Copies of this chain bind each other. A is one copy, B any other.
Amino acid sequence: MKFQYFMPTRIFSGERCLAEHGAALKQLGTKALIVTGTHSAKANGSLDDAVKALAVNGQAYCVYDKVMSNPTIACAYEGASEAVSNGCDFVLAIGGGSPMDAGKAVALLAAQEKPVPPAEIFSASYARALPVAAVPTTAGTGSEVTQYAILTNDAAESKTSVATPLLFPRFAFLDAAYMRGLSQSVTVNTVVDALSHAVEGMLSVRASSVSDALAGESIALIASCIAAPGLSDLDDEARRKLLTASTLAGMVIANTGTTAVHALGYSLTYYKNIDHGRANGLLLARFLAFIERTKRERVAEILARMRLKTVDDFARLLDGLLGKREKLSAAEIEHYAEKAVKAANIANCVVRPEKDDLVEVLQGSLG
């Protein structure tokens, strides 16, 4: 049981938590840069609630609402420039993984006295960041409780993580009411992302009793929602469960990192524009089958939390959610496996896959 654990974000969970606990934001500064996407935060009420909380606190704010899916480095710099030119001293990031990750990167870049060149954004060492509060509006990423900001990295033709403990949000506000208008495809893709985090966390060499406890609960909560009725008619109770599950899974990967599933999935997103969560979901069952050959008991623990008996059951459940699968050519499979086997999170797997194993996972998933 050699392990480390760290997750310093204070979580407020529950309907209207921004109204109830928004006073906490006073600790973060005098003027917020609200970082969000173009539409959903306006539609689901989260932006209004945030603005109201800031008004109650007497805090000023600007809005940077240009975050796209799979945010670019340029987007992070643009947001940081907005923060600096408007004198914002903290960031309020609202949305799914993209706005939250972009908001965290903005908070980091805006706080540097000496500008970090874009080419060094992933390798620089950082000593400060603006404080961040995060309001997730999907149940997927867990970014509200991690030290990661994942950006599209064109130089590496992938998605890459800026990772520093400075990026843990100071506060996370979990209000599942913001998820009421989510489309079924977004719901599925994000839930599958959260499931992947929890499962990968249990397949990481850095797993511990602490992370396993959180991962097991996350998996059980997700399983209780994706069983019989499917994800098409969620009620508020299910939304709350899924949002809690995604935060739990974020706490997991904050401590375990991700594994080969994410390493492979980034190519599916970068080259084929497959949604990040869906990309993980497409690969998860085959990766579990690969691990099971060596670590049968570990996989059995995961399946038990899902209330499933076999990896085939797991695959069928995900198939039902994901629908028709994209196809890759043999050349694409070769290329993505070649890239992934060099990724840092390959060393993180409890059974370290070789390139041929990754080819097999891709072939079985999308061949």
Contacts and interface: CB of A to CB of B under 8 A. Distances in A.
A182 interface: no
A127 interface: no
A194 to B, nearest CB: 13
B11 A240 contact: no
A209 B221 CA distance: 9
Contacts of A5: 10-11, 13
Most buried by B among A7, A210, A241: A210
Interface stretch (A32-40, A211-219, A291-299, A317-325): A211-219
A128 to B, nearest CB: 14
A4 B8 contact: no
Those 7 A-B pairs whose CB atoms lie nearest each other, nearest first: A2-B14, A213-B217, A8-B8, A5-B11, A6-B10, A213-B213, A1-B240
Interface residues of A, number: 33
Nearest to A3: B13
Contacts of A245: 209
Nearest to A221: B209
Tally of this chain's copies: 2
A244 interface: yes
Given A209-B244, A210-B214, A14 B8 contact: no
A348 interface: no
Contacts of A212: 217
A12 to B, nearest CB: 6
Nearest to A2: B14
B213 A248 contact: yes
A328 to B, nearest CB: 37
